[in-house]
Amino acid sequence: MDFKEHIIEKIIKLTELERTIVENAVEVPPDEKMGDLAFPCFPLAKIMHKAPPVIAQELSKKLSDDDMIDKVQPAGGYLNFFFNRERFISETVGEIEKAPEKWGMSNEGEGKTVLCEYSSPNIAKPFHIGHLFSTAVGNSLARIYKQLGYNVQSLNHLGDWGTQFGKLISAYKRWGDREVIEKDPINELLKIYVKFHDEAEEHPELEDEARGYFKKLEDGDEEMTELWSYFREISLVEYKRVYELLGVEFDSYNGEAFYSDKMDEVVDILRDKGLLVESEGAQVVDLSEEGMPPCIILKSNGATIYATRDIAAALYRHRTYNFDKNIYVVGNPQKLHFRQFLTAMKKAGWKWADDCIHVGFGLVRFGGKNLSTRHGDVVLLEDVLRESIDKTREIIRKNNSNVDDIEDASRKIGIGAIFYTFLHSTREKDIDLNWETILDFEGESGPYCQYGYARGRSILRRAEGINFKNADFSKTVSDEEYSLVKHLNGFYDAVKIAADKNEPFYINRYVTNLTKAFNKFYNTNPILKDDVDEETKKARLALVSVTTEVIKSALYLLGIETVESM
Ligand code: ARG
């Protein structure tokens, strides 16, 4: 039985207000002590010609308690409802026990497809911490939408096309050494790419050579294509290794190159619709009405660019997936780029362009340092991951934690800690990472939540043999127990708002608060002590059991794995 629904119905019956008015008015009071749900009487003031506090007083007398509601209390202009704790706890726990893996899920997305594009590093350019931010947010959103029953496709829009390939080919022909490169492809390619830039500062003719190579590549030259595909393949092997470390998967690695033969059509459509105008030799879509610089479609030398490829990609996705939403998780510096090409698409009359959503995020700094991508002085993703894992291993050793497999635990905790930190604030906020907060086992952190889970699992191991199904909750209604179950009950709401706002942060806050409530519960309510009577013991074990399940599910939505002991 839904407590909220029950209360809404009671209010409707009594006040004869319209359902939507009541539904929208009912709210959760700011403080748990004020009750579980509140009804502000303000919408009634006009109808009843009385002050809200007077109405609240009158209504409270007319509303009788029942087996779901313990009391109804007027407070100012509000009516505060207190649920029957025992009933609320036993129903919620019973529901979770029935199918723990389904708790917090729904099927509202059935038959609908959501595309989630994220990570999307650029070959030969640094795979940096900004790409990790995108990976954390995108991977989490993909899991959140799946939780709501959507068919989700995770896309990696690799930066595998563009003038940088001309530069890379030029660099490779001059300084490339296959053997050296294959030992460490990403860093070695980056190295010669950076060297190209340094050299080109003194020898600008190198730039011409690079442009020539890219032109040849675009024209399908065999040697160029072979080199391009070689660079792509060896980089992809590396990326996939990193994704495996992160526990992240993609359904498609179609990058920019995939759309290189699909751009003529875009140019034709835009031209046919009369949207292309010439500007300084280039073909552009004018966006002055929208207060934006024009969206360049063809450069003056006839070459297509980033935006053209993005329009081709969107059109391809629309035709291939007929998506409900096409989400791009890309940093805020590209905000204008997305507004531009999406507006150009709307001008072309593609209604579904409204379902293409840029999900931006802030800048990342590390230890107060701004990250610059120039000349390679950038914090590289894999270095950060390795360092996190190493530091975690040290902490585990120092704490003498009893983990089963220290390598496995260090990876899960080290990586989880980083994902957690990225998703700890709303995504538009700039973040400044530092190891003290990332790996603070006691503060709000990934390890803190993982520890809560492991703690619960260890209690359950010690209770092996005790059957706590269908427990009696009449004595386990303390504030801590009740608050814990209220948190458990809120899982779906957190998932829903996280999806509505494309904000994994809501899940992060949810699981953090749930873990805190769990800590409070087991610190104040003994579970396996000798003087705890059997019924209470069983009821508390049931609480521990469902809580560990929900912490695990919620962490999974953030991309964080759990460990059984810590
Ligand atoms: N490769 C780009 C970068 O690293 C991100 C790709 C964004 N996605 C897109 N469809 N434009 O900056």
Which of 119, 135, 157 is the pocket-test mutation for ligand 1 (most atoms within 8 Å of CB)? 157
**What is the mean predicted confidence (pLDDT) over 364-383?**
66
Given a contact cutoff of 8 angstroms between Cβ atoms, the answer to whether 217 and 165 are in contact is: yes
Instruction: Quickly list H helices, 406-478.
Output: 406-422, 435-438, 446-462
Secondary structure (H, E, C), 80-116:
EEEECHHHHHHHHHHHHHHCHHHCCCCCCCCCCEEEE
Residue that has been written with the tokens 């150009």 in this structure = 344
Q: Is-catalytic flag, 125?
A: yes
CA dist list (Å): 210 to 163, 172, 207, 277, 296 = 7, 11, 5, 28, 22
Q: Kindly report, residue by residue over 173-221, the tens digit of the pLDDT.
A: 999 998 998 888 888 888 899 899 999 999 999 999 999 999 999 899 9
Ligand 1, closest atom to CA 159? 1
Q: How many CA atoms lie within 13 A of 561 on its CB side?
A: 16
Q: What is the pLDDT of residue 366?
A: 83
Condensed to tens digits (0 to 9), the pLDDT of residues 464-480 reads 999 999 999 999 999 99
Taking 60 as the threshold, does the pLDDT of residue 383 lie above it?
yes
CA–CA gap between residue 267 and residue 353 (Å, rounded): 17
Residue 375 pLDDT class (50, 70, 90 cuts): very low
Over 60: is that where the pLDDT of 376 sits? no
pLDDT, tens digit, 9 for 90 and up, residues 57-107: 999 998 877 889 999 999 999 999 999 999 999 999 999 999 999 999 999
Q: Whose CA is nearest to atom 1 of ligand 1?
A: 159
Dihedral angle over CA of 194, 176, 189, 310, nearest 10: 90
Q: Is 375 a catalytic residue?
A: no
Rounded CA-CA distance 308/171 in Å is 27
- Calculate what percentage of the chain has a pLDDT beyond 90: 82
According to DSSP, residue 356 is labeled: E
Q: Which of 51-55, 192-196, 200-204, 545-549 has the highest mean pLDDT?
A: 545-549
Nearest CA to ligand 1 atom 5: 120
Which protein residue's CA is at the shortest distance from atom 7 of ligand 1?
330
Q: Is 475 an annotated catalytic residue?
A: no
What residue ranges line ligand 1, CB within 6 angstroms? 117, 120-122, 157, 159, 310, 328, 330
> What is the per-residue pLDDT for 65?
78
Q: C-alpha distances in angstroms, 86 versus 32, 45, 68, 82?
A: 16, 35, 9, 12
Distance from Cα 369 to the centre of ligand 1, integer Å: 23
Please count the CA atoms within 13 angstroms of the CA of 521 that sit on its side-chain side. Answer: 30
